[in-house]
Structure 1
Amino acid sequence: MANVRKYTEQIASAKKGKDVRAAIVSAINEVSDENNTYNQTKADIQAAQKSINADVTKNQQIQQAFNSNLQEAKEVQKDLTAKMNKGTTLAENLEKKNTTATSLDKSLGEKNTAATKTVQTLEADITAAGQAERSLEADVTAANKAAQTLEADTTAAGKAKQSLEEDITAAGQAERSLEADVTAAGEAKTKLDASIKTSGENITTMQNLVQNADQIKTGLETDLNNAQQASKDLKQNTAASVTKIETAGQTQIDLIKQNGGGVENALSNYFALRRNGKVFTTKIYKWETSTSPVGVKMNANENMVAEPSVGRTEGRDDYAQYGLFHHFTCNFSVDENGFNHVDALEGQIGFTKYGKVQVGEVTMSAWFGIEDTTEAVLYHYSDSQTELTPYPMKESINPDGTISPFMIHAKYAAGDIDGVPYSSKGLAPANGCQATQARNPVSYTGMITYMHKLGGHYCGTTSWDLFYRQLMMIIKYATTHSQSIMAGCTSYSNQNQNLVEETGVMRVVLTKAQAAGYVIGSYVSIGDVGSNTNKDRYYSYMHNKAYSVKVTKIEDVDDSNAAVYVDAPEAFDTTLTTWITTMPWRSGATDEVAGSDGSPNSNTNGKDPYKIQGIETCIGAYEVLGNVVMDIVTGPDGNPARDVYVCEDASTLSSNIATVRANYKKAIAQVAYTAASWKYITEETTDPNLGIMIPTKVGGGSTTGFADGLYTDTGASGQREWLALGSLDDGANAGLWFLTAGGGWSTAGWYIVSGVSPNGTRGEWQATA
């Protein structure tokens, strides 16, 4: 096992996030150095395979280029044959001209006329010779071995041209010596014959080149076949070798883990070195004392500042200096006993955000306390058990009741791949709308089977996953008005009708004012509703052109209209019954946001999701809890009240209310009754043993108290699922304490999503069991 103690000083002295991450990656890599040989061998094999494939590709390209040159050579041969025929015709014409010149003694005028015709014919011949010269020069480039011969031919043609020009001059002076003109023409014929002979020799050379090329081609084909067979053999041998290496590597990794090594041991050491016992406290005044949602930071939290980032502009984060608030993106899994595991950290070999993996944020296990005083409630948070923080965070408790050195939360809302939920990047959130790409059973009851496709201890978002985000808002930002810090995608319910019919496009045309309401980078669906009048996103026709596609740009079409472009998988036709509709954001929308908290474009525009401690939140849909059921009973005042039941073992999740009442844990408080109307929450009661905050009083406003809405229907019996955070159109009602409790526990729709939680099975802490 590798010795990582030498990194202790470096890790302990790290004061910045970059130093911290560099230190842990160095430590982890040192711990995992037993795998270096495996990784290098695998890389070498893959590189060799890549080189072979590249050589094969290069040979294919050479063969293609040679075939092209061969075809050009054949065209040259054809062209030369045509020019030989022209040369023969030229010789015959010269013979005829000699005969004509002999008879010119009858009349000098006739001689001059014949000479003029001879000049014209010879000029045409010169032009043809020039064309032959240019063609032969091109042929020289195509066939390197024939270059010198073709250049000689060009020179000969040039001399022939010069001789013919002299003959023209002699013909123009025919009155002095007709015999000299005839002699010059004879000399020109002789030279042209020599040129024709040279061209014939060039043809022979080209034929030899073609023959040699055929032989080379045959050899290349043989070499290519051999290379392809060698590549095939190498791929087969490589695949077998990689399988053996991966098997051996996994065996080594398992041994490292068994012996206390690997990433989890490194994380445990890293967090252990950063535990300092500091207690971060925020006092939130009770409604009766002050209606303001703004609290007071105390103890180690005093004078601490947190500012959410906007895009790549990073906000101030004083908490980044403390290990308690450090978090690392990871791949996680849950074993058959309910223990969660960190499989890889971002930056390590094997880590990915995409595909059939679970992506989470791993952070230090922590302790909290809720101190209820006459005037206020004090929320305490620490890396250690203290008098003020007697309770471990539920995510920190292993199924056997021991305390884990770390806790994991899913980073993204769950998306669907091949009918299975995954918390990975780039996915449309799994939901129950009727689009062909959706139809996922995301509800309290539906997720029991859906999440168990991953394993018996997987669950949808749990109450303690939500409580962690609520507590981080209170501690870091000292407020219960979460939308005053980060609003989330809660006011972005646009639906607009296309104005111009088009064919084969990836856009819709709206008025400029309508188009300005869309956010580049956000997601929409496009559908042709035909004669349907209901524009609810539930229906498949709202998505039949493009489902959950990104807005890529918005451009003016004319003085009145603008086009909203999308990255649809294929072009589509639009009509005057085509509609564009905003949809919840796909996973990974906040990955480019700097730091731990913040939004892509704006924290307060109501159109962007945000992240808190790296966890993507408020994407434009309710987040249904997978381990919580509300059971309607008669309250003390005679009105319908809701008992809250929390499941601590995901393998026992049930849709039978008798089983729920018998096996789940009932929380210490009931949900307040709002008589089928929205009321703003003024009090939250925390059950510290179950890690859940329950709205117990209402009557405030959108900027007072907990500043979030609560809705309960008037039903006197039955069960309800817990829908948190808020949807596209919940506006000021939405936020971290939002709860709509009017839907049956099997309700699903486009507006209901969840996460893949590794915390479905949590034990009871041994000290309080």
Structure 2
Amino acid sequence: MSNENSQVVNFPRDTTMQKLVQVQNSQMAGATDVQYKEKVAAATSKAEVDALFVEWWKYQYIPELYSKSDMLERWFGNVLEDSRVHGVTTPRYAKSTSVIGELTDDSTGLVCTPSTETTAGSDPFAHLPQFWCLEVAAEKKADGSHEIHYVEHIDSTGDVRSGEYLCWVLQKNTWKREWQDADYKYLKTRCHPAPGYKRWPEGTDRTGKVHEYMAHPKYYAGIGSDGRITCGTGLKPINRTSHSAGISKWKVRGPQYSGASGSLPKFLDTMNRLKYGRKGNSGKIEGCSSYNFQYTAAVSETGVERVILTTAQAANLFVGSAVMLGIQSGTDRNTASNYSVFDGKLITAIEKVTIDEKEYSAVYVDNGGVTFDTTAGSSYLSTSPYYSGWNDNVLGRDGSRYNPASGKEPGMIQGVEFMNGSYLIVSDELWQWSQDANENYCFDCYKCYDQSKVGSAINENYEKVNVPTLVFPKDTAAWTWKYITDNAINDDVLWPEATNASGSGVGVGAGFRCVPAASGVRAAWCFGTLNSGGDAGVACRGSNLGVSYAYWHGSLGAPGLEG
């Protein structure tokens, strides 16, 4: 049957004929979904599944009967189905300090290699029902439900990623189980329920509806063309802001929003474990942890949109990355003088130039046509957090544009971009310092499960999360990095189980910034920065930043489906 023949006549909504046609179409839809389930099961590549999705959609989509959300519920719930179990076993730190684990069950023998802009890596998971993913543009409603407006492969990529609506990445809402014994941690996922397995929290919205897909923001937050905060490509990160200010910005978009959820780092960590068999992302898809470059101009110029550097200095910079410029006053990017000319503008080109018979490199920036003067030895160029969309042209769902292991650029896993060179400020968690009866310092995690009630104080809207209280002796030195052995087992948050690993290259490969206090609520800053080096990672946490604290290296995130 052709798609044209399956279209519905627009009878009045309340007629018997309309209801009859709806029933007939529902029966046909069920049969079609079974057929495409079998086709997807026989596919051997993501490209095949993509093509099947388009074919299925064009054959089935009837706007008079189905919303785009309805269609995606069917696709993820009925078509993306199999009996596989995907698993990973990782050693607890006491058993082995290594970050390397072992894939198990139906993942045994599957080997992932991250992609770049020019080379497609190996991703044997990409076409499988539990891992196939899809970009959409969606908006959450005031009641916590959502509407999907644009769909990858069906609508234009430009619309999906534009930021008109929030750009999400959808993936099947599977059943997941985590547990541990004395030596190992275990993680398994499957398409069907089983004892001990639960569905992902980010697959349930605030109305309580459990969706067949879960959704995560594709990018950090930015300001869209309408002046409101959003999630889309090509946007400057919203840094130099705080947890409290971030909530206010999201409330302008709607009372249902507060910002990034702590479920995002948990998801990224889980996908890294399931696909790469590792306890941390560092060294595989590193993210931007080592892109810390600051240079004074080598030559003075007037009325330009460029900075002259030595060729060796300019070789460290990427066209398309962001920089700030000011008059040098120390090295702190938060000192106003150091970004007094411009803050976070894109490098558009790097070209060799000869000045007074000496070769230099000219670093051109997009300053909107506004020219400036530079002074040799004092005009100070510093790298900044990346704009969203750095990895849009990567030839796969995992990787980085040039070199995923370099530490110089944002990472991407399952289509979600992370670690742009600044901490991600999670909105729905608050962390708290206290002291116990022995004056040991204690650090706890609290979470608000309703984004419309997120605030800046731990109150009746917050629940203490069932993860270990981090305890530090009363003589613990402040402003030290400690290293995370393992992450605690919890469905809702990514949290250190302990922080006594011997260094940054073991355990989960990430650090905990330890600044003990007798009391105080702290904002949830995750991932690390472009100058964190081995301390950074998806599991990295900072414990010193209050809810009103703003700095260049903290940026706002975007919400997903839950809450």
Give yes or no for TM over 0.5: yes
After TM superposition, give the deviation of residue 728 of structure 1 in Å. Answer: 1.0
Tell me whether 1:556 sits opposite 2:352 in the alignment.
Answer: yes
Residues 645 and 667, structure 1, Cα contact 8 Å, conserved in 2:
no
After TM superposition, give the deviation of residue 738 of structure 1 in Å. Answer: 0.6
Q: What is the rounded CA distance, in whole Å, between the counterparts of 2:269 and 2:154 in structure 1?
A: 31
In the alignment, what sits opposite 2:164? 356
Q: What is the rounded CA distance, in whole Å, between the counterparts of 1:672 and 1:610 in structure 2?
A: 32
In the alignment, what sits opposite 2:35? 9
The residue identity in structure 2 corresponding to 1:354 is: S
2:282 aligned counterpart, secondary structure? helix
Tell me whether 1:453 sits opposite 2:241 in the alignment.
Answer: no
Residues 487 and 496, structure 2, Cα contact 8 Å, conserved in 1:
yes
1:313 aligned counterpart, secondary structure? coil
The residue identity in structure 1 corresponding to 2:435 is: T
In the alignment, what sits opposite 1:678? 481
Unaligned residue ranges in structure 2 (runs of 5+) = 1-7, 9-24
Residues 329 and 335, structure 2, Cα contact 8 Å, conserved in 1:
no
In the alignment, what sits opposite 1:755? 557
The residue identity in structure 1 corresponding to 2:275 is: K
In the alignment, what sits opposite 1:605? 406
After TM superposition, give the deviation of residue 701 of structure 1 in Å. Answer: 1.8
Q: What is the rounded CA distance, in whole Å, between the counterparts of 1:574 and 1:378 in structure 2?
A: 56
The structure in which a higher percent of residues are helix is: 1
In the alignment, what sits opposite 1:497? 296
Residues 443 and 748, structure 1, Cα contact 8 Å, conserved in 2:
yes
After TM superposition, give the deviation of residue 341 of structure 1 in Å. Answer: 3.5
After TM superposition, give the deviation of residue 11 of structure 1 in Å. Answer: 5.1
1:125-144 matched pairs, under 5 angstroms = none
In the alignment, what sits opposite 2:454? 653
2:380 aligned counterpart, secondary structure? strand
Q: What is the rounded CA distance, in whole Å, between the counterparts of 1:277 and 1:752 in structure 2?
A: 42
> Which shows bigger deviation, 509-518 or 307-316?
509-518
Q: What is the rounded CA distance, in whole Å, between the counterparts of 2:110 and 2:437 in structure 1?
A: 43
In the alignment, what sits opposite 2:72? 267
Larger radius of gyration, structure 1 or 2?
1
Q: CA RMSD in A?
A: 2.2
What's the TM-score once normalised by structure 2's chain length?
A: 0.87
The residue identity in structure 2 corresponding to 1:28 is: W
Match of 1:365 among 173, 178, 202: 173
> Which shows bigger deviation, 469-478 or 668-677?
668-677
In the alignment, what sits opposite 2:5? none
Match of 1:376 among 184, 189, 201: 184
1:310 aligned counterpart, secondary structure? coil
In the alignment, what sits opposite 1:572? 372
In the alignment, what sits opposite 2:49? 20
After TM superposition, give the deviation of residue 8 of structure 1 in Å. Answer: 4.6
In the alignment, what sits opposite 2:213? 406
The residue identity in structure 2 corresponding to 1:266 is: M
Residues 459 and 760, structure 1, Cα contact 8 Å, conserved in 2:
no
In the alignment, what sits opposite 1:293? 99
Match of 2:523 among 717, 721, 732: 721
Q: What is the rounded CA distance, in whole Å, between the counterparts of 1:667 and 1:425 in structure 2?
A: 35
In the alignment, what sits opposite 1:166? none
Q: Against the structure 1 CA distance between its residues 636 and 703, is the aligned structure 2 distance closer, same or farther, given a 3 Å change threshold?
A: farther
Q: What is the rounded CA distance, in whole Å, between the counterparts of 1:467 and 1:536 in structure 2?
A: 31
1:319 aligned counterpart, secondary structure? coil
After TM superposition, give the deviation of residue 324 of structure 1 in Å. Answer: 0.7
Match of 1:510 among 305, 309, 312: 309
In the alignment, what sits opposite 1:150? none
2:487 aligned counterpart, secondary structure? strand
1:484 aligned counterpart, secondary structure? coil
Deviations 1:591-618 (A, max 9, x none): 0001110000111221111110000011
- Count of paired positions: 521
In the alignment, what sits opposite 1:108? none
1:68-467 matched pairs, under 5 angstroms = 252=64, 256=65, 261-271=66-76, 272-349=78-155, 351-387=159-195, 390-417=197-224, 419-432=227-240, 442-467=241-266
Q: What is the rounded CA distance, in whole Å, between the counterparts of 1:746 and 1:289 in structure 2?
A: 41
Unaligned residue ranges in structure 1 (runs of 5+) = 35-251, 433-441, 762-769
In the alignment, what sits opposite 1:238? none
After TM superposition, give the deviation of residue 360 of structure 1 in Å. Answer: 1.1
1:750 aligned counterpart, secondary structure? strand
The residue identity in structure 2 corresponding to 1:551 is: I
In the alignment, what sits opposite 2:535? 733
Deviations 1:302-322 (A, max 9, x none): 111111002131110110231
Match of 1:643 among 421, 438, 444: 444
Residues 672 and 697, structure 1, Cα contact 8 Å, conserved in 2:
no
Q: Against the structure 1 CA distance between its residues 547 and 655, is the aligned structure 2 distance closer, same or farther, given a 3 Å change threshold?
A: closer
Residues 414 and 756, structure 1, Cα contact 8 Å, conserved in 2:
yes
After TM superposition, give the deviation of residue 568 of structure 1 in Å. Answer: 2.8
Give the percent of matched residue pairs that are identical in Structure 1 and Structure 2: 26
After TM superposition, give the deviation of residue 636 of structure 1 in Å. Answer: 6.9
Residues 552 and 567, structure 1, Cα contact 8 Å, conserved in 2:
yes
The structure in which a higher percent of residues are strand is: 2
After TM superposition, give the deviation of residue 381 of structure 1 in Å. Answer: 1.9
1:658-669 matched pairs, under 5 angstroms = 658-659=459-460, 663-669=462-468
After TM superposition, give the deviation of residue 444 of structure 1 in Å. Answer: 2.5
The residue identity in structure 2 corresponding to 1:732 is: G
Deviations 1:628-683 (A, max 9, x none): 011112247632111210110111112233445xx434333223546421011112
Q: What is the rounded CA distance, in whole Å, between the counterparts of 1:578 and 1:589 in structure 2?
A: 27
After TM superposition, give the deviation of residue 419 of structure 1 in Å. Answer: 5.0
Q: What is the rounded CA distance, in whole Å, between the counterparts of 1:7 and 1:668 in structure 2?
A: 41
What's the TM-score once normalised by structure 1's chain length?
A: 0.65
Q: Against the structure 1 CA distance between its residues 539 and 659, is the aligned structure 2 distance closer, same or farther, given a 3 Å change threshold?
A: farther
Residues 280 and 382, structure 1, Cα contact 8 Å, conserved in 2:
yes
Tell me whether 1:30 sits opposite 2:56 in the alignment.
Answer: no
After TM superposition, give the deviation of residue 334 of structure 1 in Å. Answer: 0.8
Larger relative contact order, structure 1 or 2 (CA cutoff 8 Å, min sep 6): 2
Poorly superposed stretches of 4+, deviation over 4 Å: 1-8
Q: What is the rounded CA distance, in whole Å, between the counterparts of 2:384 and 2:69 in structure 1?
A: 38
Q: Against the structure 1 CA distance between its residues 656 and 289, is the aligned structure 2 distance closer, same or farther, given a 3 Å change threshold?
A: closer
Match of 1:584 among 382, 385, 394: 385
Q: Against the structure 1 CA distance between its residues 335 and 505, is the aligned structure 2 distance closer, same or farther, given a 3 Å change threshold?
A: same
After TM superposition, give the deviation of residue 685 of structure 1 in Å. Answer: 1.3
